[in-house]
Amino acid sequence: MPPAAETSKSRDVADTPTLNEVLQENVRLKNSLEALERENSILKEQLTETQASLGQLYMASKRQEEPKPVEKLSRRPQPPPFLIRARSPSSDEIVEIPEPPRKKQKQRETFTATPATTQEQIHPQVKTSNPIRNPDSAPSSSRAEGSSRPRPVSPGLEPTSGKVKPVGQLPKISTPLPPKVSIKLSPSERKRTEKINDGPRIAKTKGSTEREGEYLSDDAASSAASSTSSVVMLKASPKEDKPKPRIKVKAKDVFILPDDTVKLYLKSAPTLKITPRPLNIQVPRKFLRLAYGGSDQQFLQFIQDDMNPSGPVQRRLVFPVLDLNPAMPSQPGEPGLVFASRHELLSNPPWTLFCKLSSTTPAVWHYLGEYTNVLCGKMTAGQFKSQTLVVRKEWAKLVLKKKAFDVYVSMRARIALRKTGAIPVDDKKVEDDLINAEMTAIKQKAGIPLTEEDIISAFSNGDEGIDIIRMTCVMYDHTFANDMKAKFANYDSLVAADDRKKNEQGRGKDSATKSTTAPKRQAKKAKAQSQIQSDSSEVEDESQSDAAMPRDSDEEFVASPRNIAGPSRRPRRTIRIKPVLADDAEV
């Protein structure tokens, strides 16, 4: 029995590595399955969007194939609308209604082709159109009784018996104003449906059509401009008048939160309904700098109170990008999420939010509104590990390179101190002192070296995490939007003025450099001349004195050439400064 027990125990110990490998393989397969499920859900969403886009393209092609009747407006006075009698569907009474558009067009052509001496009357009982001459002229001959030619009767009219009244006794027909028709465009099916409402006829002018067409889609705006005298009011659906992002962001290149997590964070952040409709204005950041001041290269930008068109308060602007924040707001009034550990966004609300909707050059930014920001969560270790390697490396590079902001420098300092084992410590004050010292060393490029793998490991273990901030729209500043629209019309002049200012500053800097350099050179030259004169005068005084020169004096090197050249009362100035050369030669 004892040997059997020992054999069983040894067999269990031998199987332990195999069991561990099996467990690790199960964990790896489970992670792979989760990744495949996420990729499958993403592909399903892309397939749904593609099908919707194909459906819209198919409907658009169908609409383009349908011929659109073009009505040429004539300068001649138009006749009053022709009326016909028809039986009311609700009662048996006969009421007068406008004729269909095709008959109306034919009758207009007949009216313009008829001479001015004839008039067109509608028989009140027979309902046939007969041209009758002026009352002064003789009446037209009637149709022969035996004629086999049938009397022309308009289609859809009910002939009745009666006599034709003369022109002078025609009944006065009151022309009611056409009713107002409202047509809505649906994004899935753009078929026009007329809805008759009570109200006076409102004729649109060309200017009003252009102003209303500014917020319509291309098809709606073109149709509204083609019929300027129509009473049809076009109203675009809320989904069509919103500019859609045109940046193609790959799912493997951005940090993606699970849908249930995003919905949980945005559950208490509703979409703001903006009235009147927001402006679709997109401007480059250089325009914002030239028009309102501030920097156009930073994540945050500030407009001082004297440059703010909405009032004497400082305006704070924020410019997140969709590449790093795919859940951020992209339409005016929408809520969203951004990844940022800079807590400046949490104070001094509201913040003016801009979003870059396209990847054009130069980049343009769309004004979304005024937002308040709240810290709603932190990126977990599981969320970070579920991202692709490209995304994890991008965040690691961000932490390694961001040395201008203490929040990222302190994060790097903590990771470095954990790597060396310096933290954590029991004393919080000592730990803070160590972190501050490492931050100072990092800013001076003398910190503990780190790699991208160290940063990725810290995020994957949950030691560090990026904050998640929820942005909620509280208002849309139409004053600021209209001011941007008005100033953006003169953007070229702002750029030209900025270029002139830079050129003037460059010329002024060059002249200032020359003016400061010339006096320095003159002073240096004068100082050298005075030094030469002082040196020569000292040498002259020494040569003319009666005191005996020492044997190692420089005068020995000067006296010998003077004796050879002949007697001289005063040595030349050039000769008197040669003791310096003699010193060099002696050495």
Distance CA 181, CA 202 (A): 10
What are 536's two structure tokens?
């020569």
More confident of the two residues 510 and 468: 468
What are 140's two structure tokens?
């037209």
The answer, yes or no, to whether residue 577 has pLDDT greater than 80, is: no
The percentage of residues in the chain with a pLDDT greater than 90, rounded to a whole number, is 36
Supply the pLDDT for residue 480: 97
The answer, yes or no, to whether residue 269 has pLDDT greater than 50, is: yes
More confident of the two residues 417 and 144: 417
Supply the pLDDT for residue 359: 79
With vertex at residue 490, the alpha carbon angle to CA 487 and CA 493, rounded to the nearest 5 degrees, is 130
Supply the pLDDT for residue 531: 54
The whole-chain average pLDDT of the chain stands at 71
The answer, yes or no, to whether residue 496 has pLDDT greater than 90, is: yes
Residues sharing a CB contact under 8 Å with residue 299, sequence separation 6 or more, in sequence order: 318, 319, 320, 342
Is residue 323 very low, low, confident or very high in pLDDT (cuts 50, 70, 90)? confident
Mean pLDDT of 114-141: 45
What are 428's two structure tokens?
């919080």
List alpha helices for 545-572, DSSP H: 555-565
Is residue 556 very low, low, confident or very high in pLDDT (cuts 50, 70, 90)? very low
Is 541 exposed, middle or buried (CB count within 10 Å of its CB: 0-12, 13-18, 19+)? exposed
User: Which pTM does this prediction carry?
Assistant: 0.47
Is residue 238 very low, low, confident or very high in pLDDT (cuts 50, 70, 90)? very low
Q: Which amino acid appears at position 410 of this protein?
A: S
The percentage of residues in the chain with a pLDDT greater than 70, rounded to a whole number, is 52
The answer, yes or no, to whether residue 187 has pLDDT greater than 90, is: no
User: Mind listing the pLDDT tens digit for each residue in 402-444?
Assistant: 887 888 899 999 999 999 999 999 999 999 999 999 999 999 9
More confident of the two residues 62 and 214: 62
Mean pLDDT of 360-369: 91
Out of 5-19, 202-216, 495-509, least confident range = 202-216
Query: What b-and-e string marks burial along 370-391, b requiring 16 or more CB atoms within 10 Å of the CB?
Result: bbbbeebbebeeebbebbbeeb
Distance CA 116, CA 107 (A): 15
Task: Say if strands 282-283 and 365-378 run parallel, antiparallel, or are unpaired.
Answer: antiparallel
The answer, yes or no, to whether residue 551 has pLDDT greater than 60, is: no
Between the alpha carbon of residue 273 and those of residues 155, 238, 331, 333, the distances in Å are 51, 11, 11, 7
Mean pLDDT of 211-238: 37
| Residue 309: DSSP 8-state | T
Mean pLDDT of 109-132: 46
Mean pLDDT of 198-221: 40
Supply the pLDDT for residue 560: 41
The answer, yes or no, to whether residue 12 has pLDDT greater than 50, is: yes
Beta bridge partners of 318: 300, 353
Supply the pLDDT for residue 406: 86
The answer, yes or no, to whether residue 490 has pLDDT greater than 90, is: yes
Q: Which amino acid appears at position 385 of this protein?
A: K
The answer, yes or no, to whether residue 123 has pLDDT greater than 80, is: no
Residues sharing a CB contact under 8 Å with residue 325, sequence separation 6 or more, in sequence order: 255, 336, 337, 338, 339
Residue position matching structure tokens 């350099």? 517
Query: What b-and-e string marks burial along 416-435, b requiring 16 or more CB atoms within 10 Å of the CB?
Result: bbbbeebbeeeeeeebeebb
Could you tell me if 219 and 68 are in contact, meaning their C-beta atoms sit under 8 angstroms apart?
A: no
Beta bridge partners of 260: none
Could you tell me if 134 and 116 are in contact, meaning their C-beta atoms sit under 8 angstroms apart?
A: no
At 475 the three-state DSSP class reads: strand
User: Mind listing the pLDDT tens digit for each residue in 49-87?
Assistant: 898 888 888 888 877 877 666 555 556 666 666 666 666
The answer, yes or no, to whether residue 328 has pLDDT greater than 90, is: yes
Mean pLDDT of 486-499: 94
Percent helix, strand, coil in the chain (nearest 5)?
45, 10, 45
At 500 the three-state DSSP class reads: helix
Could you tell me if 232 and 209 are in contact, meaning their C-beta atoms sit under 8 angstroms apart?
A: no
Out of 68-72, 233-237, 261-265, 464-468, least confident range = 233-237
Mean pLDDT of 534-554: 40
The answer, yes or no, to whether residue 575 has pLDDT greater than 80, is: no
Is residue 9 very low, low, confident or very high in pLDDT (cuts 50, 70, 90)? very low
Mean pLDDT of 330-335: 96
Is residue 534 very low, low, confident or very high in pLDDT (cuts 50, 70, 90)? very low
Mean pLDDT of 174-181: 50
Out of 5-9, 68-72, 199-203, 431-435, least confident range = 199-203
Between the alpha carbon of residue 220 and those of residues 237, 319, 556, the distances in Å are 11, 32, 107
Is residue 18 very low, low, confident or very high in pLDDT (cuts 50, 70, 90)? confident
Beta bridge partners of 377: 468
More confident of the two residues 208 and 290: 290
At 130 the three-state DSSP class reads: strand
Supply the pLDDT for residue 267: 92
Could you tell me if 324 and 461 are in contact, meaning their C-beta atoms sit under 8 angstroms apart?
A: no
Is residue 398 very low, low, confident or very high in pLDDT (cuts 50, 70, 90)? confident
At 413 the three-state DSSP class reads: helix
The answer, yes or no, to whether residue 581 has pLDDT greater than 70, is: no
